[in-house]
Structure 1
């Protein structure tokens, strides 16, 4: 039995991960902004600790971690799941909108991780599961700022996996495709406050129009996704990236092909920018 600390656990993928961990006999700390919105099946278990926590309030995080440790004795798995989307061409996104997005998707994740790491280092073990996105390895039109935030999550996760290995702590970033959750609801997804007509009919607004019609028809099954995340997390060794979903796998192949296309014509000249050691 392990203790899972899951942010954004009231619905969607976070709630399904909590259910998977609970069903397997683990203790779950369900960190949510409003514990009253936690599903009844999670609220009703004595192995679930509902915690009121807005992860963007950095000053509240250490107390939440301490409460979890006092209740269950430690934290074995941290799932940084809380996050939201932002749609719009990069030019349409205001500074305030971009900073608000990064406060939740990136800086809150950093704050949560820093608060839990002393616990895991004392234990000599632990696993950190960061929920990224397919948009975290491929910048996509119409979600440029969201992609930027998830690229940050992927980079942080890769660095953490190496920094924390000496302490027996592992880190993995999960990069799912579109899941049939509430992610495209207004409660999870923001639209740029400005719409520039010049982008109508271009890829940025095609994505925007798709998101407004695709809600709750997405390809991915969050129950199956959560089951796989749980299965992978309980293995002895975590992958650095968990590429999750058929659309993620398809886009990964596109990304790899693009890397090779960009690299091939300039590989030799790129290599030739080194100092000529023979001449020196």
Structure 2
């Protein structure tokens, strides 16, 4: 089988960085991207092609970037929408601009990039789109509404896309990851909206401490999580001979979050079903 060509966003750290090394180890080609090209220069030395890409760029700029990516090998087989970040803060402190920024990166970025690559995939009658979602889409957390909401919005959009793309033969994979040991919660990567209200000062300090205490102590093994996804795309390892589900929940804590929420909603519906 000819090597697959992967286009991966957000490869300067975390899942994206692990994806690059895993895909290269499988003998495939990688076009690694990041907002700041200097941060991924070392990946070129590892065997990847690199390209500057900001998923929040205007549509015309993204169009040019997709064409640039196609120029490396004449095709792309797998798009991994990985770029994203965490915004924390209370509802009263989150500005409209805060919300626009996280939705632009976590939701509209993947949507816009995917929309531009779909014509190429349809022409090939093949292609796989991977969305790095989160089990956070299944629950609300105080101080994390912006992040929860962005991942929930992505979940809803991608579920519709999967059904639209099945007839043309394009595969869609939504990864809903629990907590993995990446740099996602590193203080330099978590944006906390400063509070303007004394009632929230103690809580905001708690949020700062929580992110710091969880950073690096997450239960999930990032390397194992990435290998699970790569096997799902390539139909190897655990996925060989199996029909890979559209929704893949990663990590023991991620599975618990989804199962607990599903049970909670089922119980709620059963309790109040007589109203209708």
- TM-score normalized by the length of structure 2: 0.90
- Contact (CA 8 Å) 2:88, 2:192: kept in 1 or not? yes
* Offset at residue 166 of structure 1 (A): 1.2
- Contact (CA 8 Å) 2:195, 2:201: kept in 1 or not? no
Gaps of 5+ in 2: 236-241
* Offset at residue 200 of structure 1 (A): 6.3
Runs of at least 4 residues off by over 6 Å? none
Which residues in structure 2 correspond to 1:1-280 (within 5 Å)?
A: 1-38=3-40, 40=42, 42-46=43-47, 48-58=48-58, 59-194=60-195, 196-199=197-200, 208-235=208-235, 237-270=243-276
* Offset at residue 187 of structure 1 (A): 3.6
Residues 19, 195 of structure 1: alpha-carbon distance in 2 compared, 3 angstrom cutoff: farther
For 1:197 and 1:224, the matched residues in 2 are separated by: 43
Bigger-Rg structure (1/2):
1
Residues 206, 238 of structure 1: alpha-carbon distance in 2 compared, 3 angstrom cutoff: farther
For 2:187 and 2:260, the matched residues in 1 are separated by: 30
For 1:174 and 1:206, the matched residues in 2 are separated by: 29
For 1:225 and 1:169, the matched residues in 2 are separated by: 23
Indicate the larger mover: 145-154 or 59-68.
Answer: 59-68
- TM-score normalized by the length of structure 1: 0.89
Give the match's secondary structure for 2:185.
coil
**How well do the aligned residues superpose, as a CA RMSD in angstroms?**
1.9
For 1:85 and 1:4, the matched residues in 2 are separated by: 25
* Offset at residue 63 of structure 1 (A): 1.4
* Offset at residue 45 of structure 1 (A): 4.2
* Offset at residue 86 of structure 1 (A): 0.7
Give the match's secondary structure for 2:83.
coil
* Offset at residue 20 of structure 1 (A): 1.0
Residues 244, 116 of structure 1: alpha-carbon distance in 2 compared, 3 angstrom cutoff: same
Gaps of 5+ in 1: 271-280
- Contact (CA 8 Å) 1:77, 1:129: kept in 2 or not? yes
Deviations 1:178-212 (A, max 9, x none): 1111111244210012264434677x875553113
For 2:116 and 2:25, the matched residues in 1 are separated by: 27
- How many residues align? The count is 267
* Offset at residue 140 of structure 1 (A): 2.0
